[in-house]
Amino acid sequence: MRHDESNRPHLGTSKRSDSRLQGTDHAVIAPVSERLRRFGIRADKALGQHFLVSEGAVRRITESVADMAGILEVGPGPGAITLPLSLAHPVLAIELDERWRDLLAHYCPDVEVIYQDALQADLATHLEALPAPRAIVSNMPYNITGPLLAAFSAQAGRVERLVLMMQKEVADRIIAPAGDAKRGALSVVMQAQFAVKWQQTVPPGAFAPPPKVQSAVLEFTPRAVLPAGWAEFVHASFRQPRKTLANNLRERGGAALIDSAGLAASIRPHQLTEAEWQTLWSHSKAN
């Protein structure tokens, strides 16, 4: 693990003085497009990079963590979100792309940046270095959204909020209610673990380069610790989403389990409410 030790912030400080904004030259508050031009950096398609350039979208993200004391940002890129966050909070960032070293050191000198694959990082240790309450903020690359969601969810006991940008299609699936055809294992597991709030829809034009799809920002507030085996049980239930629940769970009791939980024999997994999932889980453990 490599750390940028220069200008390392004192992570125990929960607020920055507004005096930092006074006399700040244009270079420090330059828009993202100017930062990229100055340092000659372009998006790396292989890393799924799309840089957020909408000031309005950035403002809503930063305002949503205004009550937090410490921020872990994953994938700061050119620092569009990083800089405004660092004016009010201690920020620790994890970035895979080392091309950002000079740019981030210039525009975000108070931020410690760890250049490492976030999926290999010790998120627990990094979070515990920050003052509480803590939040994770990330404009997640589309190509690793699933693994990052799993990694962030595993830190639910150490954070008070997750604020995550993702492809709108994924966000739609996460918030899908019972009965919605888009509802899947991801919906059930995330809604059981977190209170999920739709913060904003972000159009392609808010990014450089613009992606081909819309994006969305969701806020996740931890609400429950999932019991061991719960997520695996839900995923097994959705093994063939359009099949009946009894069919998908035939190796775990099948029709008898469904009947014992008071559910219709023909019910499909996307139709269950959260309460029905809890009942089904309880009966599966009793059998």
Contact 191, 156 (CB under 8 A): no
Each domain of the chain, given as residue ranges in start order, spans 2-222, 230-286
At residue 22, the pLDDT reads 34
C-alpha closest to that of 174 among 219, 116, 114 = 219
Helix (H/G/I), strand (E/B), else coil: 206: helix
At residue 12, the pLDDT reads 55
| 242-274 pLDDT per residue, tens | 999 999 999 999 999 999 999 999 999 999 999
Q: What is the pTM of this model?
A: 0.87
Contact 95, 113 (CB under 8 A): yes
Cα separation, 245 vs 238, whole angstroms = 8
Tokens of 206: 């808010």
Crossing angle between the packed helical segments 185-193 and 230-237, to the nearest 10 degrees? 150
At residue 3, the pLDDT reads 39
At residue 11, the pLDDT reads 58
At residue 226, the pLDDT reads 92
At residue 30, the pLDDT reads 64
Q: Which CATH number fits domain 2-222: 3.10.105.10, 3.40.50.300, 3.40.50.150, 3.30.70.20?
A: 3.40.50.150
| 139-172 pLDDT per residue, tens | 999 899 999 999 999 999 999 999 999 999 999 9
At residue 124, the pLDDT reads 98
At residue 286, the pLDDT reads 85
At residue 240, the pLDDT reads 96
Contact 136, 72 (CB under 8 A): yes
At residue 73, the pLDDT reads 99
At residue 67, the pLDDT reads 98
Superfamily designation of domain 230-286? rRNA adenine dimethylase, C-terminal domain (1.10.8.100)
Contact 82, 108 (CB under 8 A): yes
Helix or strand run (H / E) with residue 112: strand 112-115
Q: Which residues of the chain have pLDDT under 70?
A: 1-30
Contact 9, 111 (CB under 8 A): yes
CA dihedral 86, 87, 90, 93 (to 10 degrees): 0
